[in-house]
Amino acid sequence: MPYPLDVLHATFGFTQFRGVQAEVVGRVLAGERTLAVMPTGAGKSLTYQLPSVMLEGTCVVVSPLIALMHDQLRAAEAVGIRAATLTSADSNRAETIDRFRAGTLDLLYIAPERASTGYFRELLGSAPLCLFAIDEAHCVSEWGHDFRPDYRLLKPLLDQFPSVPRLALTATADAHTRADILDQLGIPAEGLIVAGFDRPNIRYAITPRDNTTRQIMDVIAEADGPGIVYAQTRAGTEKLAEALAASGRPTRAYHAGLDPAVRAANQAAFVASEDMVMAATVAFGMGIDKPDVRFVAHAGLPKSIEAYYQETGRAGRDGDPAVAHMFWGADDLARARQRIAEVEPHRRAGEQARLAALAGLVETAECRRAVLLRYFGENPPAQCGNCDNCLKPPATVDATVVAQKYLSAIFRTGQMFGTGYIEQVLTGKSTERSLTSGHERLSVWGIVEGEEAALLKPVGRALMLRDAVRANPHGGLEFGPGARAILKGEAELRLIVPPKRERRRRGGAGA
Q: Look at residue 387 and give the partner it binds from ligand ADP, Zn ion, none, a contact being a CB closer than 5 to 8 Å depending on partner kind.
A: Zn ion
In the complex, the smallest distance separating the C-beta of residue 19 from Zn ion, rounded to whole angstroms, is 21
Helices 345-363 and 456-465 cross at an angle (nearest 10°) of 100
Applying CB under 6 A, the site for ligand ADP has a residue count of 12
Q: How far apart are CA 151 and CA 153, in angstroms?
A: 5
Q: What are phi and psi of 387, to 5 degrees?
A: -140, 165
Least Cα distance to 186 among 206, 217, 208, 164 occurs for 164
Sign of CA dihedral 169, 173, 178, 184: negative
Q: Are strands 83-86 and 107-110 parallel, antiparallel or unpaired?
A: parallel
Is 409 among the residues that bind Zn ion (CB under 5 A)? no
- Return the number of the residue (289 or 344) whose C-beta is nearest ligand ADP: 289
Strand partners, 277: 227, 251
In the complex, the smallest distance separating the C-beta of residue 450 from ligand ADP, rounded to whole angstroms, is 50
- Return the number of the residue (373 or 444) whose C-beta is nearest ligand ADP: 373
Is 193 among the residues that bind Zn ion (CB under 5 A)? no
Q: Are strands 477-479 and 494-496 parallel, antiparallel or unpaired?
A: unpaired
Residues 356-385 that bind Zn ion (CB under 5 A): 367, 369, 384
- Amino acid sitting at position 201: N
**Cα dist from 23 to 20, 26, 67, 195, whole Å:** 5, 5, 29, 10
In the complex, the smallest distance separating the C-beta of residue 294 from ligand ADP, rounded to whole angstroms, is 22
Among 8, 42, 134, 390, binds Zn ion (CB under 5 A): 390
Residues 1-60 that bind ligand ADP (CB under 6 A): 14, 17-18, 21, 38, 40-46
- Return the number of the residue (80 or 200) whose C-beta is nearest Zn ion: 200
**Cα dist from 421 to 359, 426, 450, 493, whole Å:** 19, 9, 18, 22
Q: Look at residue 45 and give the partner it binds from ligand ADP, Zn ion, none, a contact being a CB closer than 5 to 8 Å depending on partner kind.
A: ligand ADP
- Return the number of the residue (128 or 380) whose C-beta is nearest Zn ion: 380
In the complex, the smallest distance separating the C-beta of residue 319 from ligand ADP, rounded to whole angstroms, is 14
Is 387 among the residues that bind Zn ion (CB under 5 A)? yes
Which residues contact ligand ADP by CB under 6 A? 14, 17-18, 21, 38, 40-46
Which residues contact Zn ion by CB under 5 A? 367, 369, 384, 387, 390
